[in-house]
């Protein structure tokens, strides 16, 4: 089941891609209903959106769908957003709150542990190794955790999501100058909206690895999918929208690659 892609670079930025995969093993497919097989909550095209924007960047990606197991969730099952609607470590509902499994075929404790072993842990093992390797080169490392989501999901949040959703868990996961630099680029992007630590404050990955005092800086970017694609099946990538968005994402990644601790 495990399928981890690692592309090594020697620059200070590591790009995490935890939710772009759509692979589901046959035994899990047989348990999913039509909503589950649709994998609607994929971070569609995010790996293509960022491709080629920054030379010498390291990327770590899982090809496995988040419907199998969400590698951006606490392996203990603890909620990232207590009191708010969200999805679980091994989701049993989609972002609209609808079941994704056939009745009675939801994963039990042993199956969840198996999926942790074959998907979650290998992804984080690879990510941790790359963060350490890059830190050994530069003395610090910046993890940029790349995500996207539909701009309207009433079950998860009210209204329309801003275009750029920056998460640093209250600026605890990175140096404040990193947060400020990314915010300034998003603020100056004409025609786009942004927010810092709004509905998305940074997932488990950002919070786990972000430790500025130890030279590991982490920031999450959750993009509204309306900025680069159609938000309905077949989830078509829109190059004309993506082209403009990519120019701003290039500015962000380039700025991060030039950042140095004081």
* Contact residues for 2 (Cβ-Cβ < 8 A; gap 6+): 62, 64, 118, 119, 122, 123
Q: Average pLDDT in the 217-243 region? A: 98
Q: Average pLDDT in the 244-260 region? A: 98
Work out the pLDDT band at 79, boundaries 50, 70, 90. Answer: confident
Q: Average pLDDT in the 72-81 region? A: 88
Give yes or no for residue 2 having a pLDDT over 60. Answer: no
Instruction: Tell me the per-residue pLDDT of 105-132, one tens digit each, with 9 for 90 and over.
Output: 999 999 999 999 999 999 999 999 999 9
> How much of the chain, in percent, has pLDDT values that exceed 90?
94
Average of per-residue pLDDT values in the chain: 96
Instruction: Tell me the per-residue pLDDT of 32-68, one tens digit each, with 9 for 90 and over.
Output: 999 999 999 999 999 999 999 999 999 999 999 999 9
- Give yes or no for a contact between 214 and 245, defined as CB atoms under 8 angstroms apart: no
Unique residue bearing structure tokens 């640093």: 168
Question: How many other C-beta atoms are found inside a 10 Å radius of the C-beta of residue 47?
Answer: 18
Of 2-11, 113-122, 251-260, the one with minimum mean pLDDT is: 2-11
CB burial of residue 185 (10 Å; 0-12, 13-18, 19+) = buried
Question: How many other C-beta atoms are found inside a 10 Å radius of the C-beta of residue 115?
Answer: 23
Give yes or no for residue 83 having a pLDDT over 80. Answer: no
Element (H, E) at 130: helix 121-138
Of 73-87, 137-151, 188-202, 217-231, the one with minimum mean pLDDT is: 73-87
Question: Dihedral, CA atoms, 16, 39, 81, 98, nearest 10 degrees?
Answer: 180
First to last CA, the chain: 43
User: Residue 85's pLDDT is what?
Assistant: 78
Cα–chain center distance at 86: 15
pTM: 0.96
How does DSSP assign 54-106, residue by residue? STT-EEEEE-B-TTT--TTS-TT---SSTTS----SS-SB-TTS-B-B-TT--
Q: Nearest-5° angle of CA 91, CA 233, CA 152?
A: 65
Strands 164-167 and 58-62: unpaired
- Residue 89 phi/psi, 5-degree rounding, is -55, -50
Work out the pLDDT band at 86, boundaries 50, 70, 90. Answer: confident
Give yes or no for residue 253 having a pLDDT over 60. Answer: yes
- Give yes or no for a contact between 149 and 95, defined as CB atoms under 8 angstroms apart: yes
Q: Name all domains of the chain by residue range, CATH numbers in brackets.
A: 4-258 (3.40.630.40)
User: Residue 80's pLDDT is what?
Assistant: 77
User: Residue 210's pLDDT is what?
Assistant: 98
Q: Average pLDDT in the 145-156 region? A: 97
How far apart are alpha carbons 129 and 168 in whole angstroms?
22
């Amino acid at each position: 089941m495990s399928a981890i892609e690692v592309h090594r670079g020697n620059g200070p930025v590591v790009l995490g891609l935890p939710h772009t995969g759509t692979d589901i093993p046959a035994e899990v497919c047989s348990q999913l209903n039509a909503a589950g097989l649709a994998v609607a909550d994929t971070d569609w095209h995010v790996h293509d959106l960022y491709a080629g924007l920054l030379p010498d960047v390291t990327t770590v990606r899982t090809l496995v769908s988040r419907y199998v197991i969400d590698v951006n969730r606490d392996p203990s099952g603890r909620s990232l957003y207590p009191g708010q609607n969200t999805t679980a470590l091994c989701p049993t509902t989609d972002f609209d709150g609808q079941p994704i499994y056939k009745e009675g075929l939801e994963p039990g404790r042993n199956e969840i542990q198996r999926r942790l072993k074959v998907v979650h842990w290998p992804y984080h093992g690879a990510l941790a190794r790359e963060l350490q390797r890059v830190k050994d080169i530069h003395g610090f490392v910046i993890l940029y955790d790349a995500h996207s989501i539909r701009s309207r999901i009433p079950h998860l949040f009210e209204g329309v999501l801003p275009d750029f959703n920056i998460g640093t868990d209250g600026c605890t996961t990175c140096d404040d100058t990193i947060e400020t630099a990314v915010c300034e680029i998003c603020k100056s992007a004409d025609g786009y909206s942004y927010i810092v630590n709004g509905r998305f404050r940074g997932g488990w990955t950002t919070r786990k690895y972000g430790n500025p005092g130890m030279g590991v800086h982490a920031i999450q970017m959750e993009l509204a999918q309306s900025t680069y694609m159609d938000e309905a099946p077949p989830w078509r990538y829109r190059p004309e929208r993506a082209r403009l968005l990519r120019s701003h994402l290039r500015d962000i990644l380039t700025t991060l690659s030039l950042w140095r601790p004081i």
